Amino acid sequence: MGMVDITQKPVVKRKAVACGKIYLYPSTIQAVKSGEIKKGDPLLVAEVSAMNSAKQTHLLIPHCHQIPLDSVELKSVIKEDYIELFCTVKAQARTGVEMEALVGVTSALNTIWDMVKYLEKDPDGQYPDTRITDIRVIEKLKEMNQ
């Protein structure tokens, strides 16, 4: 057993989009919107986290190939009690980039949690309502004709 040999596969344009949500107190969401988070802008830091993590997926998941990525983009949608993130990864490669998109969005969601956790703790230091959910690949494309 080992890494799958992709030598014979053609290099093609690939794209994957992964998304996920982090549920937070409405007061925490308001603090994010108004720029009141002590550690800075969680959405900006989450974007950097997604880029760094996607590029290092091969170091985190043993059977993933090292893929030179063309782009990593993170978009956010802020609702009353959650933030939804969408991580889009593109590359010209012999294998798909869905794992990179999943690692990117997961790392970004964890980054947001880290930056707002002081607002989410209950009196016992627990997180009874904070949760990360719905992490999934919502799009995977492979362009066969270049």
Q: What percent of the chain has pLDDT over 90?
A: 95
CATH number for the domain spanning 36: value is 3.30.70.640
Distance of CA 78 to the CA centre of its chain: 15
**Is 114 considered catalytic here?**
yes
- For 22, the domain range is 12-143
Domain membership flag for residue 6 = no
Look at residue 18 and give its three-state secondary structure: strand
- Determine which one of 114, 122, 129, 134 is catalytic: 114
- In percent, how much of the chain has pLDDT > 70? 99
- Let me know if residue 1 belongs to a domain: no
pLDDT of 146 over the 90 cut: no
Average pLDDT over residues 73-90: 98
Residue 30 in this model has a pLDDT that exceeds 90: yes
Answer yes or no: are the C-beta atoms of 75 and 86 closer than 8 Å: yes
Q: What is the mean pLDDT of the chain?
A: 96
Residue 53 lies in a domain: yes
Q: Considering the domain boundaries, does residue 66 fall inside one?
A: yes
Cα–Cα nearest to 67, from 35, 99, 43: 99
Q: How many CB atoms lie within 10 A of CB 14?
A: 23
In tens, the pLDDT along 65-78 reads 999 999 999 999 99
What total of structural domains would you count in the chain? 1
